[in-house]
Amino acid sequence: MQVKMKVNLYHLGMSSDTHDFPKLFGDVKFVCCGGSSKRMEKLANYFTENLPVNYPYGFKPDNLCHSDRYVMYKVGPVLCVNHGMGHGSISTMLHEVLKLLRMANCKDTIFFRIGTSGGLGLPGGTVVISESVVDDLLEDSFEMHILGKRVRKPTHLDSSLNNELLKIATELNYNTVIGKTLCSNDFYEGQARLDGAFCDYSKEEKLQFLQKAHLKGVKNIEMESSCFSAFCTRANVRAAVICVTLLNRLEQDQIDAIDELEEWEQRPVNVVTQYIAHHFNDAYN
């Protein structure tokens, strides 16, 4: 007799003993992730109001995670999960969400990372759709350390998905570009900021590095896209990274456009919402 091994998704607070994954998650077709837990709660509520889901008036989705590490909301065929900041946090989430989807027998799921970023040569409020991702050495791959060895994984993203998102963003009259994204596992020195607790380089050296990245086609900088795209490539799932810029890093380090932030942050959300709405019926066919 074959004995089923218990699967424990520790950081999500779920296990095969406590959750019927096919019943709860078998219809998932879209996974939307972003950094903060509050932003994912807001995103789930927005999907509830703006997607053709059959929920009663006033319905609020519940957090399905039973841990304090992450939050997860489900709105019809859409999962909203936060990933925290940096590679360590997002990699843990992706391992466990991909295992969850596998146990739920999900097929053809599309992943989106929705977030904010610093622009390179772009004004705040620009929507950037990542065509590819480079690390903070400007190399086109994601470096992992496995069994004491350096391993590099490709960071591909789906060009046809990107083109659909670009069309929607253009129709919404957002200033939008497709280009490379630089992903650093650090907010301050790794992104050539001058305003951290430590800074051992000059403003001129900072600008030299950022200009070098810009000349290589980098349009924005953030902290998770390299790991995200590498995991999705390994899992053979379609994926896109769509972020809004909050400032032009060639001009400043600190975010000061406080009045515009809420509307800017909503722009990639609106694009992805329209994409999902266009493909909503496909999720049930």
Q: Which residues are annotated as a binding site for substrate?
A: 191, 193
Q: Annotated binding site for phosphate, which residues?
A: 69, 113-116
Q: Annotated binding site, which residues?
A: 69, 113-116, 191, 193
Dist. CA 261–CA 149, nearest whole Å:
41
The amino acid that residue 136 corresponds to is: D
* Token pair 């083109």: residue: 163
Q: E strands of 121-233, at which residues?
A: 127-134, 142-146, 149-153, 176-183, 218-222
CA torsion sign for 136, 37, 154, 249 is negative
Helices 37-50, 261-278: inter-axial angle, 10-degree rounding: 50
Dist. CA 128–CA 218, nearest whole Å:
10
* Token pair 């929507």: residue: 127
